[in-house]
Amino acid sequence: MAEYEAWAIGVEATLSIGLKRLEVYGDSSLIICQMQGKWKTTDEKLIPYQEHVETLSREFKEITFSYLPKDNNRLADAFATLASMVEMESEIKVHPITINLRHQPAYINHIYTLKVDGRPWYASIVDLIREERYLKDAITKEKHFLRRYDIQFILQEDILYKRSYDGVQLLCVDEE
């Protein structure tokens, strides 16, 4: 039921902003096949949900449903979980969730452009790891921070990586 509720909310939100073409990706092969018309719902509790989403789907000029395995779509799983946790009365109108589209990759906003003495932002971390050396004018507080901060980094030859929370090594890059 949670998947159908999440789908209904998403489709209603899409209709409310006037879109007429929609690609729907879901991580439930059962529901995807039901919405594609390959399978029919036999569970009495799910029939009203399927009929509601089918009714909403007819308001689009074009709508496609595609299966995306759960491993590849954590966002859909999160929305389904959120939808199943919300209790509301039938007369309450749910407002759509606004999702901003980026016109450039997200990592562009996270590249540090700071240069110290014409060197990349991470030069002081490399100096500390390699030579246990701080910037000339670093105060005690900055040195203490840098000592605690540098344990998140790994220097392999001349390449610096940052350990992410899930153990993946992220390559440190400068603006170039």
pLDDT tens digits for range 30-62: 778 888 888 888 888 888 888 888 888 888 898
Q: Which residues contact 26 (CB under 8 A, 6 or more apart)?
A: 3, 7, 32, 35, 65, 66, 67, 68, 73, 76
Element (H, E) at 49: helix 47-57
Reported as a single tens digit per residue, the pLDDT across 100-119 is: 666 665 555 554 455 666 77
Lowest average pLDDT, out of 45-49, 133-137, 149-153, goes to 133-137
Alpha carbon distance 67, 35 (integer Å): 11
Q: How many CA atoms lie within 13 A of 87 on its CB side?
A: 0
User: What domains appear along the chain, each with residue ranges and CATH number?
Assistant: 2-85 (3.30.420.10), 106-171 (no CATH)
**Strand ranges across the sheet with 153-156:** 153-156, 159-163, 169-171
